[in-house]
Amino acid sequence: MRRRVGVWARRVVAAWCVLVVAGCGGGVSGGSGGDVAGVGSRTPPPAPSRAVVTAVPADGAQDVAAEGAVRVTVGQGRLVSVRLADAKGVELPGTIGPDGAAWVPDGPLPLGTAFTLDAVAEDDQGQRAAQHSAFSTVARAHTFVAFFTPEDGSTVGVGMPVSLRLSRPITDRAAVERAVRVTADPPVPVAAHWFGNQRLDFRPRQYWAAGTRVTVALRLKDVQGAPGEFGTQSRDLHFTVGRAQVSTVDLDAHTLTVRAGQGGKVLRVLKVSGGSPDHPTYRGVMVVSEKYKLTRMNSQTVGMGDEYDIKDVPHAMRLTASGTFVHGNYWADPGVFGTANLSHGCIGLADVKGGTGKDTPAAWLFEHTIPGDVLEVRASAGDFVPPSNGLGDWNLPWEQWGQ
């Protein structure tokens, strides 16, 4: 089930994790997805929302026009909320029509900007469905910009690399690399690595130390990255590394152990269900890149046909660009957690519908996790996650990183 591996830059390909007929999606490729009523469920799952939310442009779209290209519609329901925001979290205004069936932004979008679009709708029974997408607008002709992770001013976990996605293919990588400087306080060596010709990442040899302050100096203005293509940015970005939290997932033992601090003190051991033998979860180091209290997981987005479409997967946290998540699961028999691996590749924890529970294992993990936190996944079988898949930088040995 290996899926295409796209550049991480706030991308959300609808998830694919589902416990057999009811889990998550990662599968042989660690993808994304979600399935319905699980085999062995003791009671039928709650009825899914009939509302069908559609957002355009498609998730992961690039070079989107500034006007007339963004729209959200819903069938068999009404839109409850729509949020269009740029990378800084600044929301752009929009209007939901009188009948609640459609939303459009109130004006043109800025050029060369990354956006996230989140919509929630409900059907006539009050059941909610969610839809998330991420896209970027077209840059001005003959220029390129860098979309960056993490966000300026953010606090992140110890595994967060600096990841730049360039809006145009770069042929003079050395020139672009020289125009970016990443420094840490307290100081630590930081090196760069290219994944293809549009992604440039930076990281230290080992995870950042808690409390580290990182500065990214972008001096891309007037740098020629390719014939006739010049950078436009000259700015400094800053982020802070928060408390250390590195968790281990033992898929043979069906446990997720949350450890904190330099000494790795155990905070909690949670029961999980990972990928089945047919769709094993990726092994290796994975870093949380995004969090969604409620999101949709659809097998069609990862080429698995109509196997499942779960519109309200709770407490979902993205681990790979191809769609591996750790998330809550309310539709499977609670007995599978801690005893069996039955998903399509994601890591599932017990939860309740709607993500309203405060004390469920999935809710606890969600509240105690920030982007940049690390999950080290171990198992006796399954492929290792490619370093370019999401924020998997740590899976490339340091000796190869600077090459």
- Parse the chain into domains and list their residue ranges: 1-403
* Res 24: pLDDT: 45
Please name every residue paired with 193 in a beta bridge, in sequence order, or none if there are none: 201
Query: Which strand ranges, in their side-by-side order, compose the sheet holding 265-271?
Result: 265-271, 255-260, 246-250, 374-378, 284-287
132, 193, 344, 346: the catalytic one is: 346
Strands 190-194 and 199-204: antiparallel
pLDDT at 13: 34
Question: What integer pLDDT is reported at residue 178 of this predicted model?
Answer: 98
Q: Helix, strand or coil for residue 396?
A: coil
What was the pLDDT predicted at 357? 82
Burial class (CB in 10 A: 0-12, 13-18, 19+), 392: buried
398 with 285: CB under 8 angstroms?
A: no
Catalytically annotated residue among 279, 327, 344, 368: 327
Q: In angstroms, rounded to a whole number, what is the distance separating the alpha carbons of residues 315 and 333?
A: 18
Partner residues linked to 82 by β-bridges: 119
- Whole-structure pTM value: 0.79
The one-character DSSP state at 333 is -
From the list 141, 201, 211, the residue with the least C-alpha distance to 166 is 201
What six digits make up the tokens of 143?
């220029």
Look up 346 and say whether it is catalytic: yes
Give pLDDT tens digits along the chain (403 positions): 333 333 333 333 333 454 433 334 433 333 334 333 333 344 455 677 899 999 999 998 988 988 899 999 999 999 999 999 998 889 999 999 999 999 999 998 998 899 999 999 999 988 899 999 999 998 888 899 999 999 999 999 999 999 999 999 999 999 999 999 999 999 999 999 999 999 999 999 999 999 999 999 999 999 999 999 999 999 999 999 999 999 999 999 999 999 998 889 999 999 999 999 988 999 999 999 999 999 988 766 666 666 678 889 999 999 999 999 999 999 999 999 999 999 989 999 999 998 888 899 999 999 999 999 999 999 999 999 999 999 999 999 999 998 7
Q: Are strands 213-219 and 234-241 parallel, antiparallel or unpaired?
A: antiparallel
Is 24 a residue of the active site? Answer: no
